[in-house]
Structure 1
Amino acid sequence: MTDPQITQLQPLPEDWQRALAVVAHPDDLEYGCSAAIAAWTDAGREVAYVLATRGEAGIDSLDPATCGPLREREQRAGAAVVGVTTVEFLGHRDGVIEYGTALRRDIAAAIRRHRPELVLTLNHRDTWGDASWNTPDHVAVGRATLDAAADAGNRWIFPELTDQGLEPFGGVRWVAVAGSSRPTHAVDARPGLERAVRSLLEHRSYLEALTDQDPETYARAFLTTRTTATAERFGGIPAVAFEVFTR
């Protein structure tokens, strides 16, 4: 039973058709919010992925030239499990993404191309909760995505995008941040949870390098623990939590 003194999360708005998810690395979305994405694509909504890097620095035992293409393939396979067919890579260097105008421009261009009403990204703050330090890549991409949602609609910021045929788009209504320690909204994880597990399992090379556990046991435990923890703030329903910024 839900404790009435705990601040409850609101359902994430559903009156939208297109979403764009922008993150730093392959697997960021599978750890963060693919159960929600599976439910959205089931409902006929369009979701596209944009990744700043190919995750080429993510596996210590593989050199980047080998690792990058491998992780790109795994990301495309993981996206397909939850109904996402459009996966783009911006080509920034894994581990050393720099927040700044170049990153904002690339993300603004992606927003102009895809014209989403909802933009998703990952935790842009320095820490996960109060205990664990976030990575510079996550911080840079999350913050740049929040900024680019406005940049995309301003024709006088990055006017070269208009010259390239990318007209300004001011239709982003929300930016939803997964993995935030300050969530405001949530999405029922139950319809998409099994596919979220399978989606994360497509990153098998990364998981096998990360943990000695059986990959399926690890993936299921991680996602179940995360979504179950959110249930306390969402009427007892396992859910994916987001911090939602309205535009």
Structure 2
Amino acid sequence: MTPQRLEPMPGDWQRALAVVAHPDDLEYGAAAAVAEWTDGGREVVYLLASRGEAGIDTLPPEECAPVREREQRASAAVVGVRTVEFLDHRDGVIEYGTGLRRDIAAAIRRHRPELVVTLNHRDTWGGVAWNTPDHRAVGRATLDAVADAGNRWIFPELGEQGLQPWDGVRWTAVAGSDRPTHAVDATAGLERSVRSLLEHRTYIEALTQEDPERYCRTFLTGMVEAAAEQFGGRPAVTFEVFAH
């Protein structure tokens, strides 16, 4: 059976907010698209629910958090992202609920994006590997917070803080979904996506004994090339897009 052809991502927007659970979540796939967007003059802001402090077994959380924050900021800069914010939810035990929704809705109101990007919110990665609770919680909360941000009565305290409702989000794009609908050509951004992931060197060196650059290049190249069949033969970053 011929795979479903992916549509190009909408291009008529100027501001995006990318919301994920941990440092490195965006670099494992979406960064090549981010590079393409910032090259085109668009503004992308990163919002991370945690500082990834539980992600390195050999570093206690209080030492790990500043390392991962520093690596994330350097990683974002490689693909043209200047603003990186952290919510300080506890890595590994992020809970879906009104507190998380409120924090994300506040960021949406503050940055007023037309596009919101997040990571796979479903239970599995294509039915073959279980997703983490942090990814599921943040992905679902982000999808819900888009509506929260536009409704002045859900979190009225945000209005009292000067964050007025924003209902200008037109799309939410989920990276890493096994049900993609759209894609971004990764040709121009691939090399920078490799360098962006490589900025997480402390994390990667604890994760694998493989040469870090070879590891990053193999993973990201394999991913974008796997999507090419659905995108006219072009290497691509895929998204499941929800219109609002």
- The TM-score with structure 1 as length reference comes to 0.98
1:85-129 Cα distance to aligned partner (Å, 9 max, x none): 100000100000000000000000000000000000000000001
Confirm or deny: 8 A CA contact 1:19 1:118 kept in the other structure: yes
> Residue in 1 aligned with 2:243?
246
- For 1:50, the equivalent position in structure 2 comes to 47
1:190 equivalent to 2:195? Answer: no
* Matches for 1:146-161 after TM superposition, within 5 Å: 146-161=143-158
Task: After TM superposition, give the deviation of residue 130 of structure 1 in Å.
Answer: 1.0
Instruction: Give the 4+ runs in structure 1 shifted more than 4 A.
Output: none
In structure 1, stretches of 5+ residues that fail to align are none
AA at the equivalent of 2:206: A
User: Is structure 2 residue 231 aligned with structure 1 residue 234?
Assistant: yes
2:208 corresponds to: 211
Alignment match, 2:100:
103
Instruction: Give CA-to-partner distance per residue, 1:23-55, whole Å, 9 cap, x none.
Output: 000000000200000010000000000000000
Q: Percent of aligned pairs with the same residue?
A: 76
**Deviation of 1:153 (Å):** 0.2
Identify the match of residue 120 of structure 1 among 104, 117, 120.
117
Is 1:16 the counterpart of 2:13 in the alignment? yes
Distance 2:138 2:187 in 1: 28
Which residue pairs with 1:76 in the alignment?
Answer: 73
Amino acid at match of 1:224: T
SS across alignment from 2:62: helix
1:22-37 equivalence runs, <5 A: 22-37=19-34
Asked if 1 retains the 8 angstrom alpha-carbon contact of 2:29 and 2:223, the reply is: no
User: How many residues are paired up?
Assistant: 244
C-alpha displacement at 1:186, in angstroms?
A: 0.2
TM-score, normalising length from structure 2? 0.99
Unaligned runs of 5+ in 2: none
